[in-house]
Structure 1
Amino acid sequence: MGKGRATIIGFGAILLWALLALFTVGSAPVPPLQLNAVCFAIGGLIGLVWILAGEGPKALRGIPLRVYAFGTAGLFGYHFLYFTALRLAPAAEAGLIAYLWPLLIVLFSGLLPGERLNRLHVAGAVLAFAGAALLVGGRLFGTGITITAGAVAGYALAFLCALTWSGYSVLSRRLGAVPTASVAVFCLATAVLSALAHLAVEDTVWPATGLGWAAMLALGTGPVGLAFYVWDVGVKRGDIQLLGTASYAAPLLSTLALVMTGLAVPDWRLGLAAVMITGGAALAARASATRKHTGLRSGRGARSLP
């Protein structure tokens, strides 16, 4: 598979993740752990089909147990926090805060050997976090808007969500390359773990309407299923820098999807915050790209994260 084709395949994940908030809201009132279990079971089945259509079970040979444990923890933690945040707080605001992960990936990359931050990284961080603060501040001080304790908890969980995925993405760089087939195991293990936790602490609640069922199935098939596989292909065989930069469009696309379906009310704060968060992440991406190109010209060969 060529680099260009792999990059195009990777773009599919960004489009699917833009629908994550929409389908999560539509799947209510299914509790977070139950939703995790159902969606990742669907995602795992997609992976099994992927494996059978390719190399077969031999594709999973030789993968260390620590890789499976790490991948499962990352997928389980991120989506549990995300689903819970969108159950507690307004979907558009919580979703945008959760989408700080592309920026945090760039910032955390400075902690890795051979990486460092520059002024554009810092400027991007300030701009993006100002956008997140505008969202919460608008709820706190906006005219006629009453913020609840649940919404505050939802915002906090959305931020933890961004920390979880960015930390997972950066730390995964140290585990080495593993075949895409391993994602199926991550999904199935996450489904089992989520189901056990659900049975222990939650009441089982299924969607009350056909639209709710459709949203849950679409969630498991796309944003919490196929997206992980095509993303894995893209970042391993395609243009990682281009895919990382393109991922910053996801917050805007996600917010637009919520507004167009009537699940979020158009508001100047929402629009401005979306531009600030996306713009801050783009600044950070530009800083990484500039450093990468400078390093190549000088013969240093500096690494860059998406």
Structure 2
Amino acid sequence: MTRARATAIGFVAVLLWALLALLTVGSSPTPPLLLNTICFGIGGVIGLIWVQMTGSWAHLRRVPLRVYAFGSIGVFGYHALYFSALRAAPAAEAGLIAYLWPLLIVLLSGLLPGEKLRTGHFLGALLGFAGAACIITGGGEGFQAQYLPGYGLALLCALFWSSYSVGSRLLGDAPTASVAVFCLLSALASLGLHLLLEETVWPVGALGWTSTVLLGLGPVGLAFYVWDIGVKQGDIQMLGTSSYAAPLLSTLILVIAGIAAPSWGLALAALLITAGAVLAARASSTTPAQDVAEGPAITPPTP
């Protein structure tokens, strides 16, 4: 596979993630842990088909148990928090706050050995958090306290995934086939917690089931696998930068679908968060030649 083709395959994940908020809204009122169970079950089945087609069963046996545990906790926790946030707050606003994770990854990566933060990182952080503040304060529409729990979950979602992503740097790479195990273990954990903590409410009607199945097939399924191919065989810096288009695309899709009302406040927040992430990414790309030779700094993995 050529580098250009692998990069194009990886970019498919960005397009799929742009549909995450829309499909999550469409799956309502299914509770977050049950939604996790269904979606990761579908994603895991996609993975098993992938493993069978590529003959990767032997690769799975060589993956350390700590990698399986770490990866499963990461994908389970992020999506449980994300689904919960979009149930408790407006989808566009909560989704934008959750998309602070690329910026937080860049900032937290400064804590790793051999990494350091630059002026661009801090300027990007200021822009990104200004966008989040615009959302939380109402974006010119006044403070809306009833949505604070949802906004808090979205921020926790961003912190969780960025911390997980930076920590995964210390575990090394795992084969693409291992994503199937991450999904299946996440589905099992979600099912157990759902039975303990939630009331079972299945998706309602054709819209609910279609949205849920598409979530499992796309943003919570296929996206993991194509992104893994892209970052390992394609241009990882280009993919890392392109992932910052996801919050803008996601917001635009919600507005077109009529789920989010267009407003200057929402547009400003989207631009600030995306611009902050891009500025931070550009600062990371100005690494010395020796650092580039050793490998790229932290770039956003699957969300």
**Which TM-score bucket, shorter chain as reference?**
over 0.9
Mapped to 2, the partners of 1:134 and 1:202 lie a distance apart of 33
Contact 1:241 1:305 in 2 (8 A): no
1:257 aligned residue: 253
Deviations 1:159-218 (A, max 9, x none): 110111111111111111111000000000000000010011111101222111100000
2:144 aligned residue: 147
Q: Does 1:77 pair with 2:73?
A: no
The letter for the 2-side match of 1:205 is: V
- Matched residues, number: 299
Q: 1:190 to 1:286 in 2, by over 3 A?
A: same
2:166 aligned residue: 170
The letter for the 2-side match of 1:211 is: L
The letter for the 2-side match of 1:223 is: P
Contact 1:114 1:303 in 2 (8 A): no
Contact 1:51 1:59 in 2 (8 A): no
Contact 2:56 2:177 in 1 (8 A): no
Mapped to 2, the partners of 1:298 and 1:204 lie a distance apart of 50
Q: 1:119 to 1:57 in 2, by over 3 A?
A: same
Q: 1:298 to 1:156 in 2, by over 3 A?
A: closer
Contact 2:138 2:144 in 1 (8 A): no
Superposed, 1:42-121 pairs within 5 Å as 42-121=42-121
Q: Which runs of 5+ in 2 are unaligned?
A: none
2:289 to 293, 296, 305: 296
The letter for the 1-side match of 2:174 is: V
Give the 3-state SS of the residue equivalent to 1:138 in structure 2. Answer: coil
Q: Does 1:197 pair with 2:193?
A: yes
Superposed, 1:198-237 pairs within 5 Å as 198-237=194-233
The letter for the 1-side match of 2:298 is: L
Contact 2:100 2:273 in 1 (8 A): yes
Mapped to 2, the partners of 1:26 and 1:124 lie a distance apart of 33
Contact 2:237 2:296 in 1 (8 A): no
User: Shift in Å at residue 275 of structure 1?
Assistant: 0.3
Mapped to 2, the partners of 1:259 and 1:248 lie a distance apart of 18
Mapped to 2, the partners of 1:272 and 1:173 lie a distance apart of 33
Mapped to 2, the partners of 1:109 and 1:124 lie a distance apart of 14
Deviations 1:214-269 (A, max 9, x none): 00000010000000111111111111111111000000000011000000000100
Deviations 1:105-158 (A, max 9, x none): 11111111110001111000000100000011126x625xx7243x10100010
Q: Does 1:40 pair with 2:40?
A: yes
2:240 to 219, 241, 244: 244
The letter for the 2-side match of 1:158 is: A
The letter for the 2-side match of 1:44 is: G
Q: 1:115 to 1:89 in 2, by over 3 A?
A: same
RMSD: 1.5
2:276 aligned residue: 280
The letter for the 1-side match of 2:37 is: A
User: Shift in Å at residue 297 of structure 1?
Assistant: 7.3
Superposed, 1:116-135 pairs within 5 Å as 116-135=116-135
The letter for the 2-side match of 1:67 is: V
